[in-house]
């Protein structure tokens, strides 16, 4: 495949979806960068990412029939990336997806040339963002903050700190995608 898979990873609350949205607004029209819409076993609502929803049975059936390039379980939910992303990779596009850090070994086995972008933020900022969502208890937020899976990330990862203003980290991420897609700077 001639395209580039860009996996965006990081703890809940670091702002992965915000960075992806920032870059999408600036690059999607180019046709050279594609932002994968995940399939999740959670109903879509205003408080979560824009995604396609399947119930557990339908997700299991889709997974068994090879409809996902990658799939994983995290925090009591199932996530999948549609196999259609491979057509975009084959066409030489940059394919961007929000992934769990735990699925990075499977990603690298399937797409050895993938670029992993590790998004970080200060611990107190993450805690505030998670609390602001109103979806978790203080105990579950603490468990998320204590979770560490950085050992699964390749040494070649690119790290972006999203502790400050979104336009700072967003511009950095957008430039990285522009470089990967061979686009002139527009952000």
The pLDDT confidence band at residue 29, using thresholds 50, 70 and 90, is very high
C-beta separation of 182 from 164 below 8 A: no
Examine the pLDDT at 187 and tell me if it is beyond 60: no
Q: Is 142 helix (H, G, I), strand (E, B) or coil?
A: helix
C-beta separation of 9 from 99 below 8 A: yes
Give the DSSP letter of residue 150. Answer: G
Task: Quote the crossing angle between the two packed helices 138-146 and 123-133, to the nearest 10°.
Answer: 140
User: Whole-angstrom Cα distance, residue 169 to residue 78?
Assistant: 28
Distance of CA 110 to the CA centre of its chain: 16
| 33-35: strand order across its sheet | 33-35, 94-98, 4-9, 115-120, 158-161
Nearest to 38 by CA among 14, 72, 61, 76: 72
Query: What's the pLDDT tens digit per position in 78-134?
Result: 999 999 999 999 999 999 999 998 899 999 999 999 999 999 998 888 888 888 776
C-beta separation of 2 from 89 below 8 A: yes
The pLDDT confidence band at residue 186, using thresholds 50, 70 and 90, is very low
C-beta separation of 42 from 29 below 8 A: no
User: Whole-angstrom Cα distance, residue 122 to residue 143?
Assistant: 16
Say what the pTM is: 0.86
């Amino acid at each position: 495949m001639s395209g580039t898979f860009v996996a965006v990873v990081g703890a809940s609350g670091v702002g992965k979806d915000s960075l992806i949205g920032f870059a999408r607004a600036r690059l999607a029209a180019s046709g050279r960068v594609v932002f994968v819409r995940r399939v999740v076993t959670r109903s879509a609502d205003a408080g979560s990412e824009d995604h396609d929803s399947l119930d557990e049975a339908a997700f299991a059936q889709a997974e068994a029939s090879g409809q996902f390039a990658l799939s994983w379980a995290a925090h009591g939910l199932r996530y999948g990336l549609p196999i259609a992303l491979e057509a975009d990779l084959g066409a030489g596009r940059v394919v961007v997806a929000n992934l769990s850090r735990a699925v990075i070994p499977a990603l690298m086995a399937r797409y050895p040339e993938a670029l992993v972008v590790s998004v970080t933020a200060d611990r107190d900022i993450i805690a505030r963002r998670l609390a602001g969502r109103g979806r978790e208890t203080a105990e579950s937020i603490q468990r998320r903050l204590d979770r560490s899976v950085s050992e699964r990330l390749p040494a070649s990862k690119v790290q972006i700190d999203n502790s400050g203003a979104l336009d700072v980290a967003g511009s950095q991420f957008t430039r990285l995608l522009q470089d990967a897609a061979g686009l002139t700077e527009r952000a």
